[in-house]
Amino acid sequence: MSFKKPISSLVLIYTEDFKVLLMERADKRAFWQSVTGSLEENETPIEAAAREVFEETGVNTNQYLLEDWHLSHVYEIYAHWRYRYAPDITHNTEHIFGLKLPSVIPIKLSEHEHVQYLWVDWKEAMDKVFSWTNVEAIKKLAEIHQLKL
């Protein structure tokens, strides 16, 4: 078995009017999140971000503005997902990116990863996501665009 690298990318996909794309996980119902995924061998965080966006949503990041927000977080990997990593790995480093779209677009979900998606106002998104790092990514969106929390 090959283990996942404990380095990942999270991509907050949002529109010009600050609607945020959220997807419900297939393996943990009611867990809403942004695009996220581990780096593959010899892949940079921004390359992983672009790949994961395409795999999870069908969106080609070359058509839009994918930005490195120069923000990362280290978090403890949830116990129910720890089997995916080498036995001594307990923490993951997640790099945060933003992908700005002009407006809401249809999304082609990866069915084995997500069961449905929503476009919600950025403030609602903060209440709906399950991970604190996703909340921090939304706060970064607010900071960059000078939105009031």
What residues are designated binding site? 4, 25, 36, 52, 56, 111, 131
Look at the chain and count its residues: 149
Binding-site annotation, residues for substrate:
4, 25, 36, 131
| Binding-site residues from annotation for Mg(2+) | 52, 56, 111
